[in-house]
Amino acid sequence: MFASQQQQPGDKELLPLLPASTYWDTSPSHQLITVRPSSSQFFSGDSVTLSCDLHPSNISRTTRKRESQCGQGWGEPGNSSCYIDMLMIWSTGVYWCENRDGETSERINITITDSSVLLQSPVLPVMEGQDVSLSCRSKNAPSNHTASFYRGSALIGTSHSGHMTLPGVSRSDEDFYSCSISGAQSESSWISITASTLTPPTAQAIPTAQATPTAQAPPSDPAPLMSPVRVICHLVVFCPYCICTLIMMSVCRRTGRCL
């Protein structure tokens, strides 16, 4: 049996929680929490067993404004597990595992309903690309029955067996889901989709940096050409000399009087 909501020794006062069906934790974790039977919703009066994969671990929960461990007024602690014989409406909350080293599991939402219909959906986030199975369960008619399934307020399908599969889900399929049987509606549960683990790209050889070309001496400049001004100066000096020499040689030949 469960203790009342009075403050228990060891309980911690917390700020008000979001409704359990709207709270989820996607932080990486090395712990794993298992719920049997696997569902995020239960009828009032159902029993459930929660287990941790790291030993030893304690199972804690937060309900409304209280945080406490299994055995502190609720549940029967076992070997890194907790058995709850009779779930009550106030058992709705967030549950998780924590070992002595402080490693925690994902925080999961468990909703206890007093409705006559509940939706059985994945407790933990689903890997992108996987199929998601939904089951609509009636407290009054345990056998197969026609059920309607909803995403938000939109009808997504009807099944005569009470089961439905969402094939190859993607991140865009994250949403609140619910179901109904003969007009009785279940609580809504959030289905969280995590990105698939991508295969790391094949390592490629990093191209080596091209060797810097060896510095080469610049080609030697061609022999400097004589500037036009210098050429003109030389012509001005040289031409009169040549002309005078030619005139004197001509005169000398004519007169025969050469020095």
pLDDT tens digits along 51-85: 998 889 999 999 987 899 999 999 999 999 999 99
CA 237 to chain centre: 91
Residue 157's pLDDT is 97
Tell me whether residue 214 is in a domain. Answer: no
C-alpha 142/C-alpha 140 separation (Å) is 6
C-alpha 33/C-alpha 212 separation (Å) is 58
Asked whether 103 and 28 are in contact (CB, 8 A), the reply is no
Predicted TM-score (pTM) of this structure: 0.64
**DSSP category for residue 104:** B
What's the number of domains the chain is made of? 3
102-108 mean pLDDT: 91
**Where is the domain boundary, 77, 96, 114?**
114
C-alpha 92/C-alpha 252 separation (Å) is 139
**Segments forming the whole domain that contains residue 134:** 116-196
Residue 119's pLDDT is 97
Instruction: Check whether residue 22 and residue 110 sit in a common domain.
Output: yes
Residue 25's pLDDT is 44
Instruction: Check whether residue 17 and residue 108 sit in a common domain.
Output: yes
Q: Please state which of the ranges 11-20, 94-103, 139-148, 162-171 shows the lowest mean pLDDT.
A: 11-20
Token look-up 């399908």 returns 157
Tell me whether residue 150 is in a domain. Answer: yes
Instruction: Check whether residue 138 and residue 105 sit in a common domain.
Output: no
Residue 55's pLDDT is 85
Residue 187 or 233, more confident:
187
C-alpha 81/C-alpha 11 separation (Å) is 19
Residue 18's pLDDT is 38
Residue 206 or 256, more confident:
256
Asked whether 59 and 81 are in contact (CB, 8 A), the reply is yes
Confidence of residue 196 (pLDDT cuts 50, 70, 90): confident
**DSSP category for residue 183:** T
Instruction: Check whether residue 45 and residue 91 sit in a common domain.
Output: yes
- Examine the pLDDT at 197 and tell me if it is beyond 70: no
